[in-house]
């Protein structure tokens, strides 16, 4: 089996992507509910007949308030997405080292050679121990 750096990278990112999707889903639901409440409140306020509010000034204020909010939401979204795909130091070390270890044929032969050595020693110990038990 061949293990590439990309395989390890995506394996380390799965948990982060899951967390991002859960967070984004919750954030979208909360923003939708707040937006609908705010929209309903503004619509009710502007449609009332006895209101003494200057609607043009209020609309201008809302437009000015929305620009920084959109900028903040854009920066927060980009920051969250970028932090999802940037690995930590430990994950980066694993991304670099694991494929080198797993794909090294010399290291793959070690367990086989070690198993042969252990089997030979075990056979010797059983032969020696078998004499004392008789």
Which residue ranges make up each domain of the chain? 5-103
Closest to 9 measured CA to CA, from 120, 132, 91, 128: 91
pTM: 0.54
Express each pLDDT in 69-88 by its tens digit: 888 888 988 888 888 899 99
Express each pLDDT in 15-61 by its tens digit: 889 988 888 888 888 888 888 888 777 777 667 666 566 667 777 77
Closest to 17 measured CA to CA, from 72, 76, 71, 87: 87
Distances (CA, A) of 9 to 79, 124, 130: 19, 45, 52
């Amino acid at each position: 089996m061949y293990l590439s750096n990309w395989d390890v990278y995506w394996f380390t990112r799965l948990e982060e992507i899951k967390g991002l999707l859960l967070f984004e889903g919750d954030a979208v639901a909360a923003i939708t509910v707040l937006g609908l409440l705010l929209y309903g409140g503004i619509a009710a306020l502007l449609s009332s007949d006895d209101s003494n509010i200057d609607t043009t000034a209020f609309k201008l204020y809302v437009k000015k308030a929305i620009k920084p909010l959109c900028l903040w939401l854009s920066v927060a979204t980009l920051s969250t997405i970028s932090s999802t795909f940037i690995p930590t130091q430990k994950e980066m070390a694993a991304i670099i080292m694991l494929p080198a270890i797993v794909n090294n044929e010399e290291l793959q032969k070690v367990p086989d050679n070690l198993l042969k050595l252990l089997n030979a020693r075990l056979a010797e110990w059983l032969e020696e121990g078998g004499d004392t038990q008789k």
